[in-house]
């Protein structure tokens, strides 16, 4: 049997086809084209799924289930998107609508997108085999998903697990959420770019200027590239960024001590350049020290496919829960 996984975002709708082992067999994506009615988006999801099945010469009778990850607060038990700012949805019955549109009656599962990506990494990616994991996606913001005792943990009212909005600098930088000093205001790619720009203003001699000019913009790579080229200021920026990242990660470990914390998103492409110094910094900050076995840090392995794969495997997560 095969499973359909939908990664629904503000810019694109990605639909993937996954086998029982969580291997991605193929995918298709179409633009979300906001603003438009939620029903039209659901129709596009089903249409895209049908196209993908046709391409792969697979009939609907071979599809076991469909899972969808949506941005925002999702009630997976009722299948309702409680609130999705990007999509402009309030209390939208996503599961019911997709079930109505599908040509065959199959189970439909919905969850928050960051939780779905975490499920993907947990089932078939970097956290495979772990009993518990926190997956951090470091992009424009910081998305996070928690898997505890083999199930997705999103809190009693489904809005938990938002580590991006944990304050790490009291009274610090304003965040989109309305608080000040949130983890994602410092340790996201956006936070890193801001740090890079601030240091560039202070240091006209830094290599970061020529590197950014060559790349056409200041990006999350600028400081890392400068550091690799021996630039002291670039090294300082990376060091400061890793301090913020380590602070947030140590807080997560102090609270939950999952078996693993997996880091994804654009910054994670730095690999060991990121992971090694980060692990050292985190270990220095841990309560009780790092002498005893503690949470392992890893780089995510599914990349942008985590959402589709995790969504397609939501049925599997559900079975583990029951």
Q: Given the rule CB under 5 A, which residues bind Zn ion?
A: 165, 175, 177, 179, 182
Q: Which two tokens stand for residue 101?
A: 């549109």
The CA-atom distances, in angstroms, between 202 and each of 209, 213, 231, 232, 310 are 11, 17, 14, 13, 43
Q: Pick between residue 175 and residue 246 the one whose CB is nearest to Zn ion.
A: 175
The CB-of-180 to Zn ion minimum distance in angstroms stands at 8
Q: Residue 148 or 169: which CB sits closer to Zn ion?
A: 169
Q: Which of 241, 267, 263, 236 is nearest to 252 (CA)?
A: 263
Please state the closest distance from residue 92 (CB atom) to Zn ion, in A: 24
Cβ 179 to Zn ion shortest distance, Å: 5
Q: How far apart are CA 148 and CA 256, in angstroms?
A: 9
Cα Rg of the chain, angstroms: 20
DSSP code for 293: -
Q: What is the DSSP string of 249-287?
A: HHHHHHHH--SEEEEESGGGGGTHHHHHHHHHHHHHHST
Q: Which residues contact 223 (CB under 8 A, 6 or more apart)?
A: 192, 195, 196, 199, 208, 234, 237, 238, 241
Nearest approach in angstroms of CB 140 to Zn ion is 13
CA distance 303 to 213: 28
**Residue 1 or residue 177: which is nearer to Zn ion going by CB?**
177
User: With respect to Zn ion, which residue has the nearer C-beta, 26 or 139?
Assistant: 139
Cβ distance to Zn ion smaller for residue 130 or 175: 175
Q: How many helices (H) and strands (E) does the chain have?
A: 11, 13
Nearest distance from C-beta of residue 176 to Zn ion, angstroms:
6
Nearer to Zn ion among residue 122 and residue 186 (C-beta) = 186
Smallest separation, CB 167 to Zn ion (Å): 8
Q: State the residue for tokens 């944990």.
A: 166
């Amino acid at each position: 049997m095969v499973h359909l996984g939908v990664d629904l975002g503000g810019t694109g709708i990605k639909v993937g086809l996954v086998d029982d082992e969580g291997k991605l067999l193929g995918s298709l994506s179409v633009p979300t084209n906001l603003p438009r009615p939620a029903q039209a988006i659901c129709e596009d999801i089903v249409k895209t799924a049908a196209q993908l099945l046709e391409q792969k010469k697979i009939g609907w009778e071979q599809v076991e289930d469909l899972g969808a990850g949506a941005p925002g607060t999702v009630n997976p038990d009722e299948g309702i998107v409680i609130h999705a700012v990007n999509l402009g949805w309030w209390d939208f019955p996503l599961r019911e609508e997709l079930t109505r549109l599908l040509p065959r009656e199959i189970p439909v599962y919905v969850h928050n997108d960051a939780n779905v990506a975490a499920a993907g990494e947990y089932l078939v990616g970097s956290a495979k085999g772990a009993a518990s994991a926190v997956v951090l996606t470091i992009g424009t913001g910081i998305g996070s998903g928690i898997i505890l005792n083999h199930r997705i943990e999103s809190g009693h009212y489904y809005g938990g697990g938002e580590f991006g909005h944990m304050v790490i600098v009291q009274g610090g930088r304003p965040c989109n959420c309305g608080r000040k000093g949130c983890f994602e205001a410092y340790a996201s790619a956006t936070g890193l770019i801001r740090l890079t720009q601030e240091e560039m203003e202070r240091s006209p001699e830094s290599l970061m200027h020529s590197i950014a000019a060559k790349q056409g913009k200041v990006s999350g790579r600028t400081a890392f590239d400068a550091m690799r080229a021996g630039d002291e200021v670039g090294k300082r920026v990376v060091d400061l960024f890793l301090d913020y990242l380590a602070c947030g990660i140590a807080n997560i470990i102090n609270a939950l001590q999952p078996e693993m914390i997996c880091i994804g998103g654009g910054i994670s492409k730095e690999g060991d350049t990121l992971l090694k110094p980060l692990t050292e910094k985190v270990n220095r900050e841990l309560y009780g020290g790092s002498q005893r076995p503690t949470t392992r840090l890893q780089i995510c392995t599914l990349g942008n496919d985590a959402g589709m794969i995790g969504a397609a495997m939501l049925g599997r997560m559900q079975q583990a829960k029951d």
